[in-house]
Structure 1
Amino acid sequence: MKKNYKLFTIAIALFYFVTGITLAQDSTAIKPRPKWYIPDALDLQYAGSIGFLSAGAGYDIIHKKASIDILFGYLPRAIGGNDISTITLKFTALPWKIRAGDNTTIYPITVGTFFSYTMGEKYSSDLPSWYPDGYYWWSEAVRVNIFIGGKVRHKFSKNIWEAYYEVGTNELKLVSYVQNTGYLTVWDILHAGAGVRFYLNP
Structure 2
Amino acid sequence: MKWSIIKTGLSAFCLLPLFTLSQTTAPADSLTLKQERKWDKRVHLKYERWERLKPTHAKMQYAGGMGVTAFGVGWDYGKRCQWETDFLVGYLPRKYADQFRLTFTVKQNYIPWSVSFDRHWAIEPFYCGLYVTTIAGEDFWKKEPGRYPNRYYKFSTKLRPYIFIGQRVAFSPEHDLLRSVSLFYEVSTCELYLVSKATNSSLSMKDILRFSFGVKVQLFRDNP
Give the TM bin, normalised by the shorter chain.
0.7 to 0.9
For 1:1-202, what aligned pairs fall within 5 Å after superposition?
A: 35-63=51-79, 64-78=81-95, 80-82=96-98, 83-158=100-175, 159=178, 160-181=180-201, 183-202=202-221
Q: In 1, are the aligned partners of 2:110 and 2:129 still within 8 Å (CA)?
A: yes
Q: In 1, are the aligned partners of 2:111 and 2:124 still within 8 Å (CA)?
A: yes
Q: In 1, are the aligned partners of 2:187 and 2:209 still within 8 Å (CA)?
A: yes
CA distance in 2, matches of 1:119, 1:129: 20
- TM, length-normalised to structure 2: 0.72
Query: What percentage of residue pairs aligned between the two structures are identical?
Result: 33
Cα RMSD of the aligned pairs, angstroms, is 1.5
Q: Which has the higher strand share?
A: 1
Identify the range of structure 1 (112-121 vs 98-107) with the bigger mean alpha-carbon deviation. 98-107
CA distance in 2, matches of 1:105, 1:178: 38
CA distance in 2, matches of 1:81, 1:57: 26
Deviation at 1:81, TM superposition (A): 3.9
Report how many aligned residue pairs link the two structures.
169
Deviation at 1:195, TM superposition (A): 0.8
> What stretches of structure 2 of length at least 5 have no aligned partner?
1-46
Q: In 1, are the aligned partners of 2:144 and 2:151 still within 8 Å (CA)?
A: no
SS at match of 1:111: strand
CA distance in 1, matches of 2:212, 2:93: 17
- TM, length-normalised to structure 1: 0.79
CA distance in 1, matches of 2:165, 2:132: 15
Q: What amino acid does structure 1 have at the position aligned with 2:54?
A: I
CA distance in 2, matches of 1:168, 1:111: 10
Q: What amino acid does structure 2 have at the position aligned with 1:66?
A: W
CA distance in 2, matches of 1:125, 1:66: 28
Bigger CA radius of gyration: 2
SS at match of 2:138: coil
Deviation at 1:94, TM superposition (A): 0.6
